[in-house]
Structure 1
Amino acid sequence: EEEEEEEEEESLTKLQRENALLHQRLSLIQSSLLQDDDEKEKNSSSSPPASSESSIDPGYFRSYARYDIHRQMLLDDTRTLAYRSALLTLSNNKRVLDVGTGTGILTLFAVQGGASSAVAIEASEPLAPLAQSLLAANDPNKIATLFKGRSESYQTNEPFDIIVSEWMGYALLFENMLPSVLHVRDRLLKPGGTMVPRRATMSLGFASARTSYHLLGHRQATPAKDMAWGDVYGM
């Protein structure tokens, strides 16, 4: 019983830390969304200040170099197949921008859908070379190009028909990518262009499932090598 109480206390402490971090990130997103039109126009016409770049924790981007993170997302069939369906339907003869490309799979879906050109942005230095190699292996016609760096730093005179990003995290906003996606949208999306996804809703419900919670907490992760990496959604 004492061990169970200690586990519950540790879980509560961890949850409190995560809630505090989520609250902080929600506040940042709220500030971004409440910018007035003049400030948005100013941001869209110039690069972000150096202090914005230097304030980003490098560990945030390095964390995305872990293959198990991308394995978890790729194994989410509902998520991945929904993106594939949308991009195969919408991308024909379109110019597509993928913000936070990761392994490059969404960019490759756009290429499969007939995109006229596609740009994949990846800010994680350890991950960018992997994305580059996967794009090269699956895009023989070189429709897609990779930009290594933050999306706020990407500059072009050619706006995009479609901007796609997998920016959602726990509780929808946990990864704190939405401000970057909105910044790119305001600068680089053509009038009448399409965001994928275009809309999101957040709902909250309460549940108690102590047994399942402890089972999930002690579950051993399956090694990433068990995934059939040689054929991931046909690539």
Structure 2
Amino acid sequence: MAQGEDEEGEEAEESEAGEAPVLPSGAELAAAYFRSWDNPTRHLPLLQDKALSAAWSAALASAPPGTFEGKTVLEVGCGVGLLSVMAAKAGAARVIAVDGSAGAADAARRVARANGLQDRITVVHGAIQDVDLPGVAPGGVDVILSNWMGPGLLGGGMLPGLAHAVETWLRPGGLVLPDTASLWAVGLEDREALQDAKKTWGSVAGVDMTAALAQVIQHPRLDAARRKAQLLTAPQQLAQWRTSELRTGAVVDPAIGAYARCPLRLVAEREDRMFGLMLYWDAAWTFGGALGPGDGKPAVRLSTGPTAPATHYKQLVINFPRSLLLAPGDVLAGELELRPGGTDPRDLEVALRLAQQGGGAAAGSGAVAPIVGTFRVPYDLA
């Protein structure tokens, strides 16, 4: 009898061990995300980003007359309130600053008060999809501001919230700033970073840690190009978003379950080994096309590219499972799909299929198997 009880107990343990883990709900994931921003020090990298601050300052200084004066402005994901204060100082009659982090919202109120703008800046705590704007009717906002961009542009998952704000609160013909954002890819030679990783994951306190290296390398990372010679291909623009045209039902294409599916065609410019892709983005403040070529006043642009001034965003590096030997003119063709994370939609998943075409350095070695993989980019990747 005792033996039977033991066997039943073992079966019960096996059954419990075989059960799928209970995943957190969407509400729990959202709450954890917003709590992660409660400490104001989390906002420091953004606040200390000189290139980003300079772009916003230049944009507001270049705004056509009447853009902000007497207008109602909404900041989506206000953090500690920097852009809201800038908009009020640019002449906005009223600024509504919205953030889902209680700590950030409290800090934004304090910042508004410290700058003597508490009568014109109203801070609302809550996700933009869940809140009403005090004293503002739907379609009653003239300008929306947001630092929505994240790792790989779409990491952080702010685009659906921004789309809701545009669809619900922006008046016809209103502005969203920045008003365009483009994602780019370039082929990368990455020997130095891999050598550094091997040193880091070599011997630690006399313990051989190299067995973990393969897993470390397969995870995307934020990094900056160490030298221009690392860039093996001409850059390719993958996709562009016009923020004033965002709609909640189309941010994620229902036909493919992704933000975008992008044809990829990279052409090698010199002979070397390609270890992976580098993704980066550009944003532009054109004020609905009011600034740009031909009118004497250029649009304000911010690039996170490898040859642009450094930003805290850096570039997103995705290493391949193996390197590819390229010669000048070799073509890497395929597609790259960008989709919300499977467990947490604020993460970004990058699904890649890339095949080497042409002879070049690979000639005579037979067919080269394509690079295929899906890479998860956590929203808090730093």
Q: Fold-level match, TM-score > 0.5?
A: yes
Whose strand proportion is higher, 1 or 2?
2
The equivalent residue for 1:193 is 174
Aligned CA distance change for structure 1 residues 208 and 68 (closer, same or farther; 3 Å): farther
SS of structure 2 residue aligned to 1:204: strand
Q: Encode CA deviations 1:180-208: one digit per residue, 9 max, x unaligned.
A: 00011001001110000111111111213
Is the CA contact (8 Å cut-off) linking 1:97 and 1:160 kept in structure 2?
A: yes
- Structure 1: unaligned runs, 5 residues or longer: 1-51, 219-235
Distance 1:196 1:54 in 2: 28
SS of structure 2 residue aligned to 1:201: strand
Aligned CA distance change for structure 1 residues 125 and 210 (closer, same or farther; 3 Å): farther
Tell me how far 1:53 sits from its aligned partner.
Answer: 6.9
**2:56 corresponds to which of 83, 90, 94:** 83
**1:106 corresponds to which of 78, 83, 95:** 83
Tell me how far 1:55 sits from its aligned partner.
Answer: 5.5
| Higher-RCO chain (CA-CA 8 Å, sequence separation at least 6) | 1
The equivalent residue for 1:172 is 153
SS of structure 1 residue aligned to 2:181: coil
The equivalent residue for 2:47 is 74
- Between the two proteins, the alignment pairs up a number of residues equal to 166
Distance 1:54 1:178 in 2: 18
Q: Encode CA deviations 1:83-111: one digit per residue, 9 max, x unaligned.
A: 23323423222210000100100000101
Q: CA RMSD in A?
A: 2.3
Q: Encode CA deviations 1:62-101: one digit per residue, 9 max, x unaligned.
A: 1112434311111211112212332342322221000010
Aligned CA distance change for structure 1 residues 139 and 153 (closer, same or farther; 3 Å): farther
For normalisation by structure 2, the TM-score amounts to: 0.40
User: What does 1:86-97 correspond to in 2, within 5 Å?
Assistant: 86-88=59-61, 89=63, 90-97=67-74
SS of structure 2 residue aligned to 1:126: helix
Aligned CA distance change for structure 1 residues 67 and 211 (closer, same or farther; 3 Å): farther
User: What does 1:31-50 correspond to in 2, within 5 Å?
Assistant: none
Aligned CA distance change for structure 1 residues 67 and 194 (closer, same or farther; 3 Å): same
- Structure 2: unaligned runs, 5 residues or longer: 1-24, 201-382
User: What does 1:1-235 correspond to in 2, within 5 Å?
Assistant: 54=27, 56-88=29-61, 89=63, 90-140=67-117, 142-155=119-132, 156-157=136-137, 159-212=140-193, 214=196
Aligned CA distance change for structure 1 residues 147 and 71 (closer, same or farther; 3 Å): same
Aligned CA distance change for structure 1 residues 66 and 175 (closer, same or farther; 3 Å): same
Is the CA contact (8 Å cut-off) linking 1:108 and 1:139 kept in structure 2?
A: no
Find runs of 4+ consecutive structure 1 residues off by over 4 angstroms: none
Tell me how far 1:209 sits from its aligned partner.
Answer: 3.3
